């Protein structure tokens, strides 16, 4: 399948990466560390995209240890596992940030780098949700699903914002900087405190806050909230704030260009439609929710990564906004198949004819179908990634993971080579 037609490829030469990072931690601590220390560890011969991919491998290694020691997301792991998760995520963040510096100093900046970088970040999002759930003993249930929803929505909205404003905007407190460092601290603390069970205690009781303060008594439902639940409350507040800020950015940018803002807001509909199906499917299939949530999270993460990849590609080659995601089809079929028996059991007597029998049932065939959805998602997203990368590389005469045209100072045509043979972007 062709994802980018040849007539749109000349738009790649008009690409110019634009970003604004308002994070004070990034400006005064991390960026000096990356540019003055870390970058010196990488030779000039290594491609920026290879640095990105190498950093992602640390997260993959973390995920494999999760599957080995805590596949149900509700067991304590050996202490060293949590420290390895902290180290792996910090290395991922470092490699993901330093690849931009490597791109600039090797003169390899270009549109492929943005696509590659965002694609890796999108895959990392769902993996980190599972790792966080494992670090909190959240188990397979709605809390993990809610965390996944918040994480994927944050990434989707950020990419939607960039598509319309043409600038990647990171706030004073943002996920790629402070969010990741908070997770690093959580993983390290989990190891230091002896395991994930610690976070399931009442936070207020554990830190010594009395339930009765003079004439004021804190309600038990509020007082008994665990550390994990307080973290989710904080995450929900940040999600609302960042979503509203991104919507305001998009509205301002479109109005400045004389475009109608309401059409841009329609770009959020595909995400919420997909997640309506996700919630319905899991509610109708509690066996998947409570016993096979890990592979389903991977499926949902790839669905989101595919949507994000389509947005980035459309941004690079100036295509219309991508509203359609073919991976929604099997999910919709799964919901329809599961809804029939539910209607048969719960529809009022005059409407009990609305139901229909399930083709899959709720047992092994349903689980097999869920794994088939995951396999389809891997196949579709994999074909998209390969096709787009190969197309861009062929057109710009570059390689993805190695430097095809090394920069040589003073060589004729350096400026055009700098523009046309790029394979990385970033700040």
pLDDT tens digit string along 127-143?
A: 999 999 999 999 999 99
pLDDT on residue 183: 95
pLDDT of residue 410: 62
The reported pLDDT for the residue numbered 419 is 40
State the pLDDT at residue 19: 84
SS3 at position 168: strand
pLDDT digits (tens, 9 = 90+) for 72-91: 999 999 999 999 999 999 99
Q: Chain-wide mean pLDDT for the chain?
A: 90
Helix %, strand %, coil % for the chain, to 5?
A: 70, 5, 25
Least confident piece of the model among 20-34, 92-106, 141-155, 350-364: 350-364
Distances (CA, A) of 382 to 6, 227, 256: 20, 38, 37
pLDDT of the residue at 411: 59
| Whether the predicted pLDDT of 152 surpasses 60 | yes
Q: What is the pLDDT of residues 324-376, one digit of tens each?
A: 999 999 999 999 999 999 988 887 777 767 888 999 988 899 999 999 999 99
Q: Is 19 helix (H, G, I), strand (E, B) or coil?
A: strand
Residue burial 297-315, b: 16+ Cβ < 10 Å; e: rest: bbbbbbbbbbbbbbbbbbb
Are 278 and 304 spatial neighbours (Cβ–Cβ below 8 Å)? no
pLDDT higher for 412 or 176? Answer: 176
Residue 374, token pair as written in the block: 């995951």
Backbone dihedral region for residue 194 (phi beyond 0: left; psi -120 to 50: alpha; all else: beta) = left
Q: Smallest Cα–Cα separation from 271: which of 123, 169, 152, 191? A: 152
Q: What is the pLDDT of residue 412?
A: 45
pTM of the model as a whole: 0.92
Mean pLDDT, rounded, for 11-23 = 86
Distances (CA, A) of 236 to 112, 319, 341: 33, 32, 34
- pLDDT tops 60 at residue 212: yes
Query: Rounded mean pLDDT of 155-174?
Result: 89
Q: What is the pLDDT of residue 215?
A: 78
Distance CA 240, CA 259 (A): 25
How far is the C-alpha of 35 from the C-alpha of 94, rounded, in Å? 11
Tell me the range of 101-115, 202-216, 240-254, 279-293 where mean pLDDT is highest: 279-293
Place of tokens 């008009």: 14
Q: Which residue has the tokens 């067991």?
A: 75
pLDDT in tens, 413-422: 444 344 444 4
Q: What integer pLDDT is reported at residue 137 of this predicted model?
A: 96
* pLDDT of 427 higher than 60: no
Residues with Cβ within 8 Å of 170's Cβ and at least 6 positions away in sequence, in order, are 19, 20, 21, 22, 23, 26, 176, 177
Task: Give the position of tokens 């991390």.
Answer: 30
Please give the pLDDT value at position 315. Answer: 93
Residues noted as catalytic: 118
Question: φ and ψ at 109, to 5 degrees?
Answer: -70, 140
């Amino acid at each position: 399948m062709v994802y980018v037609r040849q007539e749109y490829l000349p738009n790649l030469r008009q690409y110019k990466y634009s970003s604004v990072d308002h994070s004070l931690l990034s400006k005064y601590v991390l960026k000096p560390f990356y540019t003055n220390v870390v970058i010196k560890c990488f030779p000039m011969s290594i491609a920026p995209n290879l640095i990105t991919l190498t950093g992602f491998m640390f997260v993959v290694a973390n995920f494999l240890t999760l599957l080995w020691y805590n596949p149900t997301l509700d067991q304590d792991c050996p202490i060293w596992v949590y420290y390895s998760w902290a180290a792996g995520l910090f290395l991922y963040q470092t490699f993901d940030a330093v690849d931009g510096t490597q791109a600039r100093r090797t003169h390899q900046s270009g549109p492929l780098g943005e696509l590659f970088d965002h694609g890796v970040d999108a895959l990392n999002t769902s993996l980190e949700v599972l790792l966080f759930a494992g670090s909190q003993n959240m188990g397979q249930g709605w809390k993990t699903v809610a965390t996944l929803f918040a994480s994927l929505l944050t990434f989707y909205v950020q990419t939607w914002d960039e598509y319309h404003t043409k600038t990647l905007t990171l706030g004073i407190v943002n996920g790629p900087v402070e969010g990741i460092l908070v997770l690093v601290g959580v993983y390290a603390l989990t190891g230091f405190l002896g395991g994930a069970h610690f976070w399931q205690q009442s936070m207020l009781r554990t830190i010594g806050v009395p339930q009765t303060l003079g004439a004021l008594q804190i309600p038990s439902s509020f007082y008994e909230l665990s550390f994990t639940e307080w973290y989710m409350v904080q995450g929900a507040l940040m999600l609302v704030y960042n979503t509203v800020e991104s919507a305001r950015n998009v509205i301002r940018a479109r109005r400045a260009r004389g475009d109608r803002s309401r059409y841009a807001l329609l770009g959020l509909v595909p995400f919420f439609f997909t997640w309506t199906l996700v919630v319905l499917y899991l509610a109708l299939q509690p066996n998947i929710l409570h016993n096979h949530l890990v592979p389903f999270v991977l499926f949902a993460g790839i669905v989101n990564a595919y949507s994000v990849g389509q947005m980035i590609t459309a941004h690079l080659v100036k295509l219309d906004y991508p509203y359609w995601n073919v991976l929604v089809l099997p999910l919709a079929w799964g919901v329809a198949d599961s809804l029939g028996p539910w209607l048969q059991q719960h529809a009022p007597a005059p409407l009990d004819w609305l139901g229909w029998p399930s083709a899959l049932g709720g047992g092994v065939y349903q689980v097999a179908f869920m794994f088939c959805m995951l396999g389809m998602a891997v196949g579709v997203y994999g074909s998209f990634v390969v096709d787009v990368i190969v197309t861009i590389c062929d057109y710009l005469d570059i390689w993805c993971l190695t430097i095809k045209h090394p920069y040589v100072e003073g060589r004729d045509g350096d400026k055009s080579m700098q523009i046309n043979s790029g394979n990385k972007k970033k700040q």
